[in-house]
Amino acid sequence: MLIDGRIGDVAASGFIQGRLLVAGFVLEELQRVADSGDPLRRSRGRRGLAVVEELKRQVHVTCEFVDQDFPGTPEVDAKLVKLAKARGAALMTNDFNLNRLASVQEVRVLNLNDLANALKPIASSGESLDLTIVKEGKELHQGVGYLEDGTMVVVEGGRDHLDHQVHVTVTSVLQTPAGRMIFATAATEQRQAAEGRPRPAPRPTRAGSR
């Protein structure tokens, strides 16, 4: 979650108040990542450490470092769950697997992804959108586009409109652990269905498009 960085913005907004406990073994893990030979991992680790420094300067929260460790537990996720239970604290994360591990052990979880999803505008069935189809979908005739907030929209009849904007109608909205997914139908697909015309033969799939 520290590498993600959004916790800094949430704390600055004033929606979180009180104490934020940062485990020493998490800082050690961030330092190892920051010292990695891989440029991407190194950048992520440094980002996490920078977020910790940012949290220390926040006026709405008190950032407290905890040295408590669990030597018989090598995995950081398991240590975090044990620390939360020992302190009677909630666990803040955006990691799906850590969320599940904590929930199974009855530790309260504050998931930033759940918060972000709750604040996203909800597209309702029957709503119309103008969407650019950016890639082919997994199923025949499907195309995929994205809303401005990154929500994936799977469009029936969208494959024939790659790299073009198309008018679509939302048919359903699916909430998944990874976020919200919208299913829609392209306007041309709707007209063909209404007129009883068969779909055109699909274009050959482009190599590497999936």
pLDDT in tens, 150-183: 889 999 999 999 999 999 999 998 877 777 889 9
**Confidence band (pLDDT; 50, 70, 90) for 200?**
very low
Examine the pLDDT at 202 and tell me if it is beyond 70. Answer: no
Instruction: Give the mean pLDDT of 125-144.
Output: 92
Q: By the 8 A CB rule, do 54 and 64 touch? A: no
Q: Domains of the chain: which residue ranges?
A: 6-118, 128-195
pLDDT in tens, 26-48: 999 999 999 999 998 999 999 99
Query: Given phi > 0 = left and psi -120 to 50 = alpha, else beta, which region is 172?
Result: beta
Q: What pLDDT score was predicted for residue 32?
A: 95
Q: How many CB atoms lie within 10 A of CB 136?
A: 21
Query: Given phi > 0 = left and psi -120 to 50 = alpha, else beta, which region is 103?
Result: alpha
Quote the CA–CA distance of 173 and 93 in Å, as a whole number. 25
Examine the pLDDT at 192 and tell me if it is beyond 70. Answer: no
Which CATH fold would you assign to the domain 6-118? Rossmann fold (3.40.50)
Beta 18-23 vs 61-66: how paired, if at all?
parallel
Percent of residues, the chain, with pLDDT higher than 90: 59
What is residue 159's DSSP assignment?
Answer: G
Please choose, from the candidates 103, 95, 26, the residue with its C-alpha nearest in 3D space to the C-alpha of residue 63: 26
pLDDT in tens, 64-105: 999 999 999 999 999 999 999 999 999 999 899 999 999 999
Which CATH fold would you assign to the domain 128-195? OB fold (Dihydrolipoamide Acetyltransferase, E2P) (2.40.50)
**Confidence band (pLDDT; 50, 70, 90) for 122?**
low
- Two domains, one topology: 6-118 and 128-195: no
**Confidence band (pLDDT; 50, 70, 90) for 210?**
very low
